[in-house]
Structure 1
């Protein structure tokens, strides 16, 4: 596996310099996107919010407000939208996605597919802007990159005012999860022991396989025949290989399933219910 050079480390120097040009040079300044792509990551400056004039960015939304969930080899294209405003109108806008504790210490980043945002004018001062991003899990990401990512965003007014925000929005990039269940024996006599097994696993972007998600709390749930509602019977933890196993007493016919609430790196998932007939 290799990380694309174009989406490797994005630093604070890039973000800070993207629009921070002296007023005397403003007339000759390129757009936000061109500046962002041209700045050397080795400049050694720290990332920080910066603005000049009255330009503002708001309403940042990544992937329609949902986590970006990727399987072992998933290639996904998603959008970032935001509102930009300036009393003179918006001339340009851009955004970069990054992962790390701070932008100047980021360990991965993603550039948009476009040279600059497509900004649709709402009125004389405000535009709605949009960019798309494409990520291939086993090509662009390491497992350590799952979790919270941030959006660096910049916008420039027609009067050369600008705003830079190194964390305009946080969002999640997650390793896709899978969950199985099997209840046995079937059928079973009332009062006898039912053994419920299963496995919790998640995508490993580096091996391109699913692997057990270990030592995670998982709920065993039951839905009585004729009902639409699952209730929690007990909570157990996956073992060192992601396997699940517990026992219950047979009382009435219905469906057993495992349910995982998810973590910051892995989405919630429910197993399909396994029907047990109790005689």
Structure 2
């Protein structure tokens, strides 16, 4: 795993007044300097009467990330101060505590765009970029992500929160396939329905089997409007699926995975079976 170690930019308070962010360095694993830089922000210090009242990640919706493509999403920081809010920014981090960081998602540009709510309050939105190749390990999938947020008022009062709980999960993209055979098949004969449940492995940049997961086999008769569950099976040690059913009529089979905290739900493309 490689994590982008924006150590200088993340040390202490975000320098929003200058908004000068040093170039990122790549480091293997959650380095000691990275953990130390995050730990320095644990106090959630503030100056004056500025306050951060709300932090929202991706509008509260889960973020699903594959193996190679970068994913952009937003973090919104709502803050208030009698003089008004003029700047705000944020980044996300994951780990059991500030000294053990195994995931980091930062903005390309730390300067958020602020929208005035009223004379004292603004919501500042920053776009962060998650790169599955360098930003986190598989252990960072799911909940537990935290937000470091910072806001500056017109009178230079400053507020920050270090460990705001993210209201969205970072999940590993999943794929699911279905194949029913033989085709055509005589009525009453056995149909074998195979498939595979795989998900993104951020550490290898490939897809790997999601093992021991419950997956539903669904069937829809030709001309019907909805699917019904035939049975529930579990993926094997390589994520493969296999079961048998009796041929009854022309129709469509598909596998459906309900999802977990680390992996979103996914439904395969249906496979038509011709029964004669």
Provide the TM-score with structure 2 as the length reference. Answer: 0.83
- Unpaired runs of 5+ residues, structure 1, are 20-28
Q: Which residue of 1 aligns with 2:130?
A: 135
| Aligned mates of 2:54, 2:226 — CA distance in 1 | 36
- 1:42 corresponds to which of 32, 36, 40: 36
Offset of residue 217 of structure 1:
0.9
TM alignment of 1:1-279, pairs within 5 A: 2-6=2-6, 14=11, 17-18=12-13, 31=17, 42=36, 47-51=42-46, 54-148=49-143, 149-170=145-166, 171-279=168-276
Q: Is the 8 A contact 1:177 1:202 kept in 2?
A: yes
Structure 1, 114-123 or 51-60: larger mean CA deviation = 51-60
Aligned to 1:147, the other structure's residue is in SS state coil
Aligned to 2:2, the other structure's residue is in SS state coil
Offset of residue 54 of structure 1:
4.3
Offset of residue 48 of structure 1:
4.4
Where is the helix percentage greater, Structure 1 or Structure 2? 1
Q: Is the 8 A contact 2:104 2:136 kept in 1?
A: no
Q: Is the 8 A contact 2:77 2:124 kept in 1?
A: yes
| Aligned mates of 2:222, 2:7 — CA distance in 1 | 51
Deviations 1:136-181 (A, max 9, x none): 2123232222222221212232344443222334222222111000
Offset of residue 241 of structure 1:
0.5
Q: Is the 8 A contact 1:117 1:129 kept in 2?
A: yes
Offset of residue 112 of structure 1:
1.6
Q: Which residue of 1 aligns with 2:29?
A: none
The alignment's C-alpha RMSD in Å is 3.0
- Unpaired runs of 5+ residues, structure 2, are 24-32
Size of the aligned set, in residue pairs, is 264
Q: Is the 8 A contact 1:113 1:131 kept in 2?
A: no
Shift of the 175–30 alpha-carbon distance from structure 1 to 2, 3 Å rule, reads closer
Deviations 1:34-83 (A, max 9, x none): 69x9x986376572445555433344332343322222211222221232
